[in-house]
Amino acid sequence: MLERAQVWLVDDLVSPEMTCYASPGTHVEWVGKRGGRCSVSQDRILQLTLMHAMAGKEVARVKGGDPLLFGRGGEEAAFLRGHGIAVEVVNGISSGTAAAQALGVALTHRAHCHGVSFVTAHTQDHGAPDWRALAASGTTLMIYMGMSRLAGIRDGLLAAGMRPDMPAAVVMHAGDKRQRCWTGTLAVLEGALATGLASPAVILVGEVLTDAKGGQDASG
């Protein structure tokens, strides 16, 4: 599918080396919304995708992670289908599961929990998730887009009754060679920032992290 596409519209979370899988002559355009590159709005991405598709091109929207888990893949697919464009979605490895691999932990060890909740700290209405309900659920917490809200996450979970020494971890660039890990506890969650970790990163909180591989770099 990637080899067949004449146009690639690529998010910033994708590793640059991915582009070596594009066939010669492919139009490769980075449309990331973060960091050093020129920012492209979500509306502009939709219009670009539609424009290339209407021109008869096969377009690959290349995203990091899984497009159906905080990837806005659902919105983009719905928009395109609404314009009569055929869409095929391919699953990927979300940074949350890649982070578990990096830390050497299972997200759902049956001795510890019933499951895992993937939540975003950055919501459409700018409110916080219901930390009380999430803490009460007893699931491992995997928090996306939370690096600018570490204090709020810590305070929310402590106020919800979670113990300060609950194991926690942060994994930056999970699953690619820039990957870096921090391990600690809920009480000192902001310590991840002091070691230089920053967005894009996922934050993990829960008993399953008791045996997580620590250090600033646990990729080995």
Query: Which residues are catalytically annotated?
Result: 11, 33, 145
Rounded least distance, CB 90 to a second copy, Å: 8
Residue 124 in contact with a second copy, rule: CB under 8 A: yes
Among 70, 170, 181, 184, which residue interacts with a second copy (rule: CB under 8 A)? Answer: 70
Q: How far is CA 61 from CA 88, 93, 153, in A?
A: 10, 15, 32
Which residue number, 10 or 135, has a Cβ lying nearer to a second copy?
135
Region of 60-68, 150-158, 165-173, 191-199 interacting with a second copy (CB under 8 A): 60-68
Rounded to an integer, what distance in angstroms lies between the CA atom of residue 116 and that of residue 44?
34
Rounded to an integer, what distance in angstroms lies between the CA atom of residue 121 and that of residue 144?
6
Q: Give the amino acid at 175.
A: G
Residue 41 in contact with a second copy, rule: CB under 8 A: no
Q: How many CB atoms lie within 10 A of CB 80?
A: 18
Q: Give the amino acid at 174.
A: A
State which of positions 181-210 bind a second copy (CB under 8 A): 208
Rounded to an integer, what distance in angstroms lies between the CA atom of residue 69 and that of residue 119?
9
Angle between helices 42-54 and 73-82 (to 10 degrees): 40
Among 16, 35, 104, 161, which residue interacts with a second copy (rule: CB under 8 A)? Answer: 104
Name, in order, each residue with C-beta under 8 angstroms of 114's C-beta and a sequence gap of 6 or more.
Answer: 108, 137, 138, 139
Region of 21-29, 89-97, 146-154, 198-206 interacting with a second copy (CB under 8 A): 89-97
Residue 219 in contact with a second copy, rule: CB under 8 A: no
In the complex, the residues that contact a second copy under the rule CB under 8 A are 66-75, 77-78, 89-94, 97-98, 100-101, 104-111, 114-120, 123-124, 129-130, 132-134, 136-139, 144, 175, 208, 211
